[in-house]
Chains A and B, each alone.
Chain A
């Protein structure tokens, strides 16, 4: 490739397009196929019977069977898992963002001894994986009676989302010009009024990003619900999917339908908040 470039006549338009659109489209096609085909297999598999799948795993539904999806959508389990996931994710997000933005405000708009140390402490928290803390966390939750309780997952989840929330919010809040606070003070607004009426609305983009991050983290988490819940009625969607898989391991079609349905909320949320998720993840990780 290098040599063809070197001998290219000087008059040729020098745009670096030698890779060629063909190769580019081929690569794109391969990526799309590798990404989409497994998902399609799951979704379409849900429209077949297990017998059909066993006979010929790769075929299209013939005829289309709706009963798998219908059974799951009319069963209480799926909806209960979904509701539990929603409750936990919402509580975890609200708590993390509320507490995180208050702390972010204090860490950005007040000066006090130990401020940087405190900020560093939260930053180091980014490195604590939930996995490391699970055994003692489990014992702690048992002691305070939060096992088999949705809050037993939501609250620790919020705590583990605090570091990233604060690490994103504080610089954002620091960047908001101090003149605004001055102006608010002239108008007689207290510090907390300023926080509530001016700073928070101005921080909206960052608040959306941290909310999305906290929500997705909680939504996808598996380990903590696995330890805290024994009773199926408390299961979240990830836990439910994994359990369903092992319970009905003979009934492939039902597993596929269940899995497909459990992808729907995440995919819907993603297409709705795509820019925020991508921006948040690629942005936040640079901390």
Chain B
């Protein structure tokens, strides 16, 4: 992520300073200007972004840590200091444990089902096919819809005896009809299905972009003396590695933070069967006015995401990220 910075004349790199040819004034901006003016420019440019970021992103997160040490309903003074009690309570609450488990389950299911599906469909769509542009547009459409709209769409479709059940009946699968959102054993898988519907297009587009980055000579050369399965397995997939690793990262972070869709479709129910960390947080923080406790949950959620991101960055992404942003913009 940190790009190598080229020789830095302003920070005392005396030796790095190439002497300008005599008679030709140094015109490199950033030098030869009064330092006061420079400082003024800098603060003018940086202050708005920094202020905004500090007040609305950093401060609330710091406050969350602070509030998490109190028992507090969001009104009146913070007086009931309880230390790490909120954290202990959250970790001991079986509902919260289940919420974490649900997040993990969604993440694992994504890896097992969405990842192969995205790659496979991208490989198929990457071949010669009529109307490819239109196809991509269509595949990507659900991703553009908000989770709120997606949730309402599927609430209508999955109504008991609704269009989905009718469809199953029509194709002779009447026996497999369930109460998709009311059955505690099923609901999480139903939600996973909806999530897959919404996000698979993103995976496919991402993989297609990755496939496009593989020089076609390589694939053609591989096709000369390998079966299509072999050339896919030993040439295409390894070269797709960076894209796959990015997808995994985004998918897991997304799974850990899942909220909108579930909140609208089930409110985390029935009986906590589809609670996630985020719905648990909003449920306790806002609906029950447990601001201290909710903050502790928020900090836990953030810690989980942060540790995962750090570990993933260190072990999986490191070799991919150098200069990745520049490449992406080309």
The answer to the question of A282 belonging to the interface, with a C-beta cut-off of 8 Å to chain B, is yes
A2 with B260: CB separation less than 8 A = no
A191 with B29: CB separation less than 8 A = yes
Q: Mark A125-168, 1 if CB is under 8 A from B, else 0.
A: 10111011111111110000000000000011011101100111
Given A14-B224, A123-B1, A263-B149, decide whether A2 and B57 contact each other with a Cβ distance below 8 A: no
B163 with A35: CB separation less than 8 A = no
The answer to the question of B273 belonging to the interface, with a C-beta cut-off of 8 Å to chain A, is no
Q: Smallest Cβ distance from B23 to chain A, in angstroms?
A: 15
B305 with A129: CB separation less than 8 A = yes
Label chain B's interface by main secondary structure.
helix
Q: Smallest Cβ distance from B120 to chain A, in angstroms?
A: 8
The answer to the question of A103 belonging to the interface, with a C-beta cut-off of 8 Å to chain B, is yes
Q: Which residue of B lies closest to A35 (CB)?
A: B138
B-side contacts of A214, CB under 8 Å: none
Q: Which of A122, A140, A223 contacts B60 (CB 8 A)?
A: A140
B129 with A245: CB separation less than 8 A = no
The CA of A6 and the CA of B328, in the complex, are separated in Å by 38
A116 with B154: CB separation less than 8 A = no
Given A135-B64, A136-B61, A245-B264, decide whether A28 and B30 contact each other with a Cβ distance below 8 A: no
Given A41-B157, A181-B29, decide whether A127 and B227 contact each other with a Cβ distance below 8 A: no
A-side contacts of B136, CB under 8 Å: 278
B-side contacts of A102, CB under 8 Å: 44-46, 48-49
A38 with B154: CB separation less than 8 A = yes
A194 with B29: CB separation less than 8 A = yes
User: Which of B48, B148, B201, B264: most chain A CB closer than 10 A?
Assistant: B148
The CA of A270 and the CA of B139, in the complex, are separated in Å by 12
B228 with A5: CB separation less than 8 A = yes
The answer to the question of B192 belonging to the interface, with a C-beta cut-off of 8 Å to chain A, is no
A16 with B228: CB separation less than 8 A = yes
The answer to the question of B137 belonging to the interface, with a C-beta cut-off of 8 Å to chain A, is yes
Q: Smallest Cβ distance from A189 to chain B, in angstroms?
A: 9
Label chain A's interface by main secondary structure.
helix
A-side contacts of B226, CB under 8 Å: 5
The answer to the question of B291 belonging to the interface, with a C-beta cut-off of 8 Å to chain A, is yes
Q: Which of A108-129 contact B (CB under 8 A)?
A: 109-113, 116, 118-123, 125, 127-129
B325 with A171: CB separation less than 8 A = yes
Given A31-B135, A136-B295, A283-B328, decide whether A18 and B228 contact each other with a Cβ distance below 8 A: yes
The answer to the question of A34 belonging to the interface, with a C-beta cut-off of 8 Å to chain B, is yes
Q: List 5 A-B contacts (CB under 8 A).
A: A28-B125, A134-B60, A192-B44, A263-B145, A284-B325
The residues of A with any CB-CB pair to B shorter than 8 Å are: 1-2, 5-6, 14-19, 21, 23-25, 27-28, 31-32, 34-36, 38-39, 41-42, 45, 56-58, 95, 98-100, 102-103, 105-107, 109-113, 116, 118-123, 125, 127-129, 131-140, 155-156, 158-160, 162-163, 166-168, 171-172, 174-175, 178, 181-182, 184-186, 191-192, 194-195, 205-206, 209, 216, 219-223, 227, 237-239, 241-242, 245, 252, 255-256, 259, 262-263, 266-267, 269-271, 274, 277-278, 281-287
**Other than the known A38-B197, A168-B325, what 4 A-B pairs have Cβ atoms closer than 8 Å?**
A131-B281, A135-B64, A267-B145, A284-B328
